[in-house]
C-alpha cells in the first residue's frame, strides 16, 4: 500500500515538473541550453551576465549551476520579459539573505557600465541574440509580416519605431537598410515604392509594408523577401549590429581572467560580427610581441544544434554558437611575460 502511494506521489511530482517546464517554455524554448551553460560557467561562485533574458530559459539553467556565492545579472530591453521572469524567479528573487539574481530592464550594452561588473569583473557574458518566440508571436509588436498591426518592432519602449523610420528616412537610407541588414536584392525598388506611397498616406501597419513588398517583387520570392525586409527593418530599429559590436568590445576589459563571452547568433550578419571581433581581438598586436591579444577564440568553428534539437525546435535551425575567453598572463609563455596585458 505504502509502496503504491510513493509511486503515485513520484508520478504526480514528475507530471507537475513536466507541466511547469512546459509552462516555462511557452514563452520561448531555449536553444543549446546545455552547450551554452557548459561553455559559460567556469566558476560556480562567479559573477555572470545573461544579456538576453527572454523567457528566462538560460537564466534558470545558469542559476541551477551556480553555488550560493554565485551571482547573475540578467538584462532584457523588453519589459514583458522582465515581468514574466519576475514571476518565474519569484522564489529566487525573494530569498532571505539575498538573491543571486538581479533582473535589469535595460539594453545589454549597459552590462559594460554596470557598477558591480566594474568592481568584481565578470566570469561570463551570454548573448542569445534576436527575438523570442513570444515577441514574434505577439501580434501588436509588429515583428511578423503575418500579423496586421502597427509597425513597431522595438525590443523595448525606447527609440524610434519601424513606423517612424519608414516614414521619415530618406529613400537612400531605406535602400541602405534593406541592402545592408537584409541583403535584399530588390532594395532599391522597394525603397522607391515606400517613399512614393508615403507621400500620399503614411505607412502605419505591417500589412501596408507587406502590400508594398508584394507589389514590387516577383510572387515566387514573396515569402523570402518579406522575411528579409522585416528582418532588415527590425535590425535598424534596434540598432542590433552596432550594439552587438560595441558590447563585445566593451565587455572585454571587464572580463575576469579566463572569463568567457558566449554568443548565439541566428543570421550571417550577426555571426560575421562575432567572428570578426573574436578574430581581431585574438590576433591583435600579437605579431609585434609588445601587446598580448585580449581574447582567445575557443571555437574555431561555430557549434551547431543537433538534428534532434532542430526537429524538436525548428527555431534552433539557424543558431550558431561561438565562444571566446579573456586571456591572462598565466597562459603566456614566460619569455613573453614582459608584454603588456591590455585593458
Ligand atoms: C532569443 S531571446 C532570448 C531567449 C532566452 N535565452 C530564453 O532562454 O528564454 C532574445 C531576447 O533578448 C532581448 N534582446 C535582444 N537584443 C537585446 C539588447 N540589445 N538588449 C537587451 N535585450 C535584448 C529580446 O528582447 C529577447 O527577449
pLDDT in tens, 185-237: 999 999 999 999 999 999 999 999 999 999 999 999 999 999 999 999 999 99
Hey, CA dihedral for 66, 72, 74, 80, is it positive or negative?
positive
Q: Which residues, including other chains, have CB under 8 Å from residue 248's CB and lie 6 or more apart? A: 261, 263, 273, 274, 277, 278
First to last CA, the chain: 67
Pocket test for ligand 1, best of 61, 89, 155, 263 (most atoms within 8 A of CB): 155
Residue identifier of the C-alpha nearest atom 13 of ligand 1: 52
Pocket test for ligand 1, best of 86, 132, 244, 309 (most atoms within 8 A of CB): 132
Q: What does DSSP assign to residue 112? A: G
Distance (Å, rounded) from C-alpha 73 to C-alpha 100?
Answer: 8
How much is the average pLDDT of 159-177? 97
Contact 103, 28 (CB under 8 A): no
Domain boundaries, the chain: 145-240
Q: Is residue 76 helix, strand or coil?
A: coil
Of the candidates 218, 252, 226, 16, the one whose C-alpha atom is nearest the C-alpha of residue 111 is 252
Percent of the chain at pLDDT exceeding 90: 82
Q: What does DSSP assign to residue 316? A: G
pLDDT at site 99: 96
- Tell me, in angstroms, the distance from the centre of ligand 1 to residue 83's CA: 14
pLDDT beyond 70 at 290? no
Residue identifier of the C-alpha nearest atom 9 of ligand 1: 55
pLDDT at site 338: 54
Q: Which three cell numbers stand for residue 56?
A: 528566462
pLDDT in tens, 50-107: 999 999 999 999 999 999 999 999 999 999 999 999 999 999 999 988 899 999 999 9
Q: Which atom of ligand 1 is nearest to the CA of 156?
A: 25
pLDDT at site 15: 60
Contact 69, 41 (CB under 8 A): no
- Tell me, in angstroms, the distance from the centre of ligand 1 to residue 55's CA: 9
Residue identifier of the C-alpha nearest atom 15 of ligand 1: 130
- Tell me, in angstroms, the distance from the centre of ligand 1 to residue 75's CA: 8
Q: What does DSSP assign to residue 186? A: T
Q: Which three cell numbers stand for residue 20?
A: 511547469
Q: Which atom of ligand 1 is nearest to the CA of 155?
A: 25
pLDDT at site 96: 86
pLDDT beyond 70 at 289? no
- Tell me, in angstroms, the distance from the centre of ligand 1 to residue 5's CA: 43
Q: Which residues, including other chains, have CB under 8 Å from residue 63's CB and lie 6 or more apart? A: 70, 72, 89, 92, 100, 101
Query: CA-based angle 83:252:85, to the nearest 5?
Result: 10
Superfamily of domain 145-240: Putative methyltransferase TM0872, insert domain (1.10.150.170)
pLDDT beyond 80 at 248? yes
pLDDT at site 8: 72
Of the candidates 221, 235, 217, 208, the one whose C-alpha atom is nearest the C-alpha of residue 147 is 208
Q: Which atom of ligand 1 is nearest to the CA of 52?
A: 12
pTM for this one? Answer: 0.89
Q: Is residue 151 helix, strand or coil?
A: coil
Q: Which residues line ligand 1 (CB under 6 A)?
A: 28, 30, 52, 54-58, 75-78, 81, 107-108, 128, 130-132, 155, 243
Residue identifier of the C-alpha nearest atom 7 of ligand 1: 57
> Helix 222-238 to helix 240-251 angle, to the nearest 10 degrees?
50
Amino acid at each position: 500500500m505504502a509502496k503504491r502511494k510513493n509511486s503515485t506521489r513520484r508520478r504526480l511530482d514528475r507530471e507537475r515538473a513536466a507541466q511547469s517546464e512546459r509552462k516555462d517554455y511557452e514563452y520561448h524554448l531555449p536553444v543549446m541550453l546545455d552547450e551554452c551553460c557548459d561553455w559559460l560557467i567556469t566558476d560556480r561562485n562567479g559573477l555572470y551576465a545573461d544579456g538576453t533574458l527572454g523567457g528566462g530559459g538560460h537564466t534558470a539553467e545558469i542559476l541551477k549551476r551556480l553555488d550560493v556565492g554565485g551571482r547573475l545579472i540578467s538584462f532584457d530591453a523588453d519589459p514583458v520579459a522582465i515581468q514574466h521572469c519576475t514571476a518565474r524567479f519569484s522564489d529566487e528573487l525573494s530569498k532571505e539573505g539575498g538573491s543571486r539574481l538581479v533582473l535589469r530592464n535595460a539594453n545589454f550594452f549597459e552590462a559594460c557600465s554596470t557598477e558591480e561588473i566594474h568592481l568584481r569583473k565578470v566570469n561570463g557574458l551570454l548573448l542569445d541574440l534576436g527575438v523570442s518566440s513570444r515577441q514574434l508571436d505577439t501580434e501588436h509588436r509588429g515583428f511578423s509580416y503575418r500579423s496586421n498591426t502597427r509597425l513597431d518592432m522595438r525590443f523595448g519602449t525606447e527609440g524610434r519605431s519601424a513606423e517612424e523610420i519608414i516614414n521619415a528616412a530618406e529613400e537612400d537610407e531605406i535602400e541602405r537598410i534593406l541592402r545592408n541588414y537584409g541583403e535584399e536584392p530588390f532594395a532599391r525598388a522597394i525603397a522607391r515604392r515606400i517613399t512614393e506611397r508615403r507621400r500620399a498616406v503614411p505607412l502605419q501597419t505591417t500589412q501596408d509594408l507587406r502590400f508594398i513588398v508584394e507589389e514590387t517583387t516577383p510572387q515566387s520570392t514573396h515569402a523570402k523577401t518579406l522575411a528579409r525586409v522585416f528582418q532588415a527593418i527590425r535590425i535598424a530599429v534596434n540598432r542590433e549590429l552596432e550594439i552587438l559590436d560595441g558590447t563585445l568590445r566593451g565587455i572585454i576589459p571587464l572580463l575576469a581572467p579566463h572569463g568567457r563571452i558566449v554568443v548565439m547568433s541566428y543570421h550571417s550578419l550577426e555571426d560575421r560580427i562575432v567572428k570578426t571581433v573574436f578574430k581581431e581581438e585574438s590576433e591583435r598586436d600579437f605579431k609585434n610581441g609588445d601587446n598580448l591579444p585580449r581574447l582567445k577564440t575557443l571555437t574555431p568553428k561555430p557549434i551547431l544544434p543537433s538534428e534532434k534539437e532542430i526537429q524538436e525546435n525548428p527555431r534552433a535551425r539557424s543558431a550558431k554558437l561561438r565562444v571566446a575567453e579573456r586571456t591572462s598572463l598565466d597562459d603566456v609563455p614566460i619569455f613573453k611575460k614582459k608584454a603588456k596585458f591590455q585593458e
